[in-house]
Amino acid sequence: MDFPGLMMETPLTLRLAFDRARTLFGNKEIVTKTPDGTARTNYEALCARVERLASALHDMGVRPGDRVGTFGWNSARHLELYLAVPSMGAVLHTLNIRLHPEQVAWIANHAEDSVIFIDDSLLPAFEKVAPHVTTAKRFVIMGDGPLPETTITADSYEELVEAGHPTFAWPDLDESQACAMCYTSGTTGDPKGVVYSHRSMFLHALMSGMVDTNGVCENDRVLPVVPMFHANAWGLPWAATLTGASQIFPAQFMTPVDIARLIASERVTFAAAVPTIWIGMLQCLDQERLDLSSLERIIAGGSAVPLSLIQAYEQRGMKIVQGWGMTETGPLASLSRLTGHIEERSSDEQMRFRARQGLPVPGIELRIVGDDGVPAPWDGEAMGEVQVRGNWVARTYYNDPRSPQSWTEDGWLRTGDVGIVDPTGYVQLVDRTKDLVKSGGEWISSVDLEGALMGHPKVLEAAVIAIPHEQWSERPLACVVCKPGQRATKDELIEFLAPSFPKWWLPDDVLFLEEIPKTSVGKFDKKVLRAKFAG
């Protein structure tokens, strides 16, 4: 017979994070980089503004379930929206500022955004979006001083906050209500909407504070370089708020040298960004003498982290931890922290484990499934599609007929990543299904070749793509960017790869480029390369 527990059932909502920061950590800093230096506030002042903002949004007509769009950089104002919008029962919808204007408008219309907040420095970009937006009735411009000249009829964010009441009657929310929306980057077809619940993001924030995951804690000074429009900045704004960590925001100052200087000046302890940021930052560390001794943890994800990059930062006394996830997984699904028995192994073997995508984080179940539809063993050899499920994994897309093809009949998310799992539980991604090279009926991992190429002392970036081949169906082509002042040759790089790979894995050719195209979230844009070099 049933024997229920006798515990309270307080809804797990993001308002708990907001209330905790205001009550316990009012003096902790929130810092935003500005053209003139930095703007500083703390949780006490910021949460007072959040009250006024929620009141003003309510007076504007925003109600529970309404979608509130943002088109902005990482900043304290964006954090205010991160806290006010979900806590009042509305749905925060972060728009990707780097997409084509018509695609941004398509996403805003598909989500049915009722009001959109825009950073003043992004007005020229949004003016190209606005004519195509049909659902939003109001636009609000975030910035200091008077409203800039614009073709958009808009309100002032600061005037809106000032007009709000200093107290707001926060509604009681169900933890299953939507709190936020993000859209995938749309590498194949239209972007797909993921709708997060309060429960999912609260649990994700709790997980992010665990010692064996991100370990975000009250003593931290957290710098989310990953944009707040990309999978909710990997959940860091809510995790940092929940734990009372100080938050440092780079705003539009996103170059590697800007990031390095901000880490040094603000004594950042925890930073998160895609690998291309950390690759670029290595160059400026060689040119500028900056004290980054405060930086205890670096999280890198979004694409595979080359072993050479992990080693380069290790030599400078900084540790990169590789993470893996997707917009659909909240996003954090695995982290490559070393367990005790791995730390007992040789330093070379430890480094190889750190270059993997790591162990599933608590709350995530993971399996790999072969072409026969059967879960494969965790033996470090069997390869299959990585599938996951958990409390912050999406169960469907928002209003999208393509949803059924992305989930299995028994409810697991099909990630589209191909990987292996070793007996200790460490996941290693071999490739995306669409990026694997199939040559003569055998698979070649573009990820492995890229990681090896970026280990060459003259190579800055490398992307490997499949190109059609009359005899072998497909063959690998390496696209390489050399470090400034360096030159390499095809034969030199092929010779460098030869000891590590079978001969038939080696690229047929190496093209040297000025830069590798990037997606809107900083990944190598292989579809552009495939289209350009298909012949």
Q: Which residues are catalytic?
A: 184, 328, 438, 443
Helix axes of 198-208 and 15-24: crossing angle, nearest 10 degrees = 50
Q: How far is CA 214 from CA 178, 320, 363, 370, 419, in A?
A: 25, 11, 14, 31, 23
Q: Could you tell me which of 253, 137, 270 has the C-alpha nearest to residue 213?
A: 270
Place of tokens 């500022």: 97
Q: Could you tell me which of 203, 168, 165, 169 has the C-alpha nearest to residue 16?
A: 203
Strand partners, 335: 323, 359
Q: How far is CA 18 from CA 56, 124, 430, in A?
A: 18, 33, 40
**Which residues does 78 contact at the CB level (< 8 Å), separation at least 6?**
70, 72, 142, 228, 249
DSSP letters, 11-56, are ---THHHHHHHHHH-TTSEEEEEETTEEEEEEHHHHHHHHHHHHHH
Q: Could you tell me which of 477, 80, 67, 444 has the C-alpha nearest to residue 241?
A: 80
DSSP letters, 368-391, are EE-TTSSBPPSSSS--EEEEEEET
Strand partners, 432: 417
Q: Could you tell me which of 136, 128, 132, 147 has the C-alpha nearest to residue 67?
A: 136
- Is residue 21 within 8 A of residue 49, CB to CB? The reply is no
- Is residue 153 within 8 A of residue 130, CB to CB? The reply is no
Distance CA 200, CA 454 (A): 36
